[in-house]
Structure 1
């Protein structure tokens, strides 16, 4: 399983739906959607600022993450983005990889 961060910003239609359904009900809907893919929702938080909601979840692969994000965006209530999250061990492994690179003008 891989960990992903979904960020969401409500559209006018979406915020009206949230006001009608409430935050708890929307969290239940998102959790069920994730679980139906075989994933697990770690947390969902509503926020003030750049994004209206943040979801951290475990999913089987990137294709599942893209399918979820596309399905949610296509419904029209949210502008949703997905970001893969790395563990400290993932970061260590990536940083041990050595690559040859010449910066522009060097």
Structure 2
């Protein structure tokens, strides 16, 4: 199943919700959402820096990942950015593919 990294920035409303509910409760909400999409929450970490949360998730496909990002961002408590993660074997397969390409100016 494809893996995704969700980078999450909390809005002011999201921070208020976190203070009210706590981190464990928010993780449980995310886990239920991911399971409802047919996936699995692999990890979820709170962080300092530009992002407040990093979650690694297995989901059936890109459509499920897009739906998750759209719905959570549209609710107003967070802004999400989604990164598709590749295994070493998937990278091996990618580098074996023949790609026809001409660089600019060549």
1-side partners of 2:59 and 2:102: how far apart? Answer: 36
Note the aligned Cα RMSD (angstroms). 0.8
Q: Aligned-pair distance for 1:100?
A: 2.1
Q: Aligned-pair distance for 1:23?
A: 0.5
Structure 2 stretches of 5 or more lacking a match?
none
2-side partners of 1:81 and 1:102: how far apart? Answer: 31
Q: Aligned-pair distance for 1:63?
A: 0.4
1-side partners of 2:94 and 2:50: how far apart? Answer: 29
1-side partners of 2:2 and 2:39: how far apart? Answer: 9
Give 3-state SS (helix, strand or coil) of 1:9's partner. Answer: strand
Are 2:88 and 1:99 equivalent residues in the alignment?
A: no
Aligned length: 106
CA-to-aligned-CA distance 1:49-68 (integer Å, 9 cap, x gap): 12100110110111011001
1-side partners of 2:2 and 2:101: how far apart? Answer: 29
2-side partners of 1:67 and 1:103: how far apart? Answer: 35
Q: Aligned-pair distance for 1:17?
A: 0.7
Are 2:68 and 1:68 equivalent residues in the alignment?
A: yes
Are 2:83 and 1:83 equivalent residues in the alignment?
A: yes
**Runs of 4+ displaced beyond 2 Å:** none
